[in-house]
Amino acid sequence: MIASDEFSVTQFDILRHGQCEGGDIFRGSTDVKLTPAGFASMRTSCDIADTPWDAVISSPLVRCRAFAEAYAHEKHLPFTVDTRLREMSFGAWEGQQRQTIWENQHADILAWMQDPSSYTPPGGEPLDQVAARLDEFFAEVSANYRNQNVLLVAHGGLMRIFLSRLIGLPINKAQNFEVPFACLSRIKIYDKGDSRMIKLAAHNFVSSQP
């Protein structure tokens, strides 16, 4: 619990999952397991952060949920799965090696990297739809967990969009965030009456991943 004489301060620490099985692929909504090293790197990030979290909320996908549920159980923390934290769907690109897409659909992946708000992978989830579910999620959890520390366990693409929305960046700048495996970022929300200020307190501040 965080306390302030003037503001209610709510803290969300957002942890990306670690390394997964399958190599360098577009996973998106495909359910794949963590490697042992991936699980361990998430543990390292949490240990280094050494934060007294009040609750853990996870994506339903196993690469997030497996660690989040185990960690919450170990620390005796309330644990919740929220489907709005699932990774965006990459449609026809899911399960494919990034290098293969880069070589065979170069113009398409370049368009997506440069302006993901205007270009969606074939059959994928449009960025504005992802943003809408994250906006809904944030409004709900920032009210329900006011003045608490909460660990969110989610995905790289989702984190980029979430961070962009919270600090007021155009959504087409989401790709500008570097989010390696086991990246941990911190958002602080300061509330007083009808006033709210949101700050990116730290980004990728414990990860040892390249």
156-167 vs 127-144: helix crossing angle, rounded to 10: 70
Torsion of CA 72, 25, 170, 13, to 10 degrees: 10
What DSSP element (H or E) covers 36? helix 36-49
Going by C-alpha positions, the residue among 18, 10, 13, 54 that lies closest to residue 203 is 13
Of 69, 73, 74, 87, which one is the catalytic site residue? 87
State yes or no: 196 annotated in a binding site.
no
The yes-or-no answer on residue 73 being catalytic is no
34, 40 contact by CB (below 8 A): no
Going by C-alpha positions, the residue among 168, 160, 145, 152 that lies closest to residue 203 is 160
The yes-or-no answer on residue 17 being catalytic is yes
HSE-up of 19 (CA within 13 Å, CB side)?
A: 13
Helix, coil or strand: residue 115: coil
> What's the residue count for the chain?
210
The CA distance from 52 to 86, in Å, is: 25
22, 34 contact by CB (below 8 A): no
Name the DSSP class of 83.
G
Instruction: Output the known binding site for substrate.
Output: 63
Instruction: Output the known binding site.
Output: 63
Q: Which residues are catalytic?
A: 17, 87
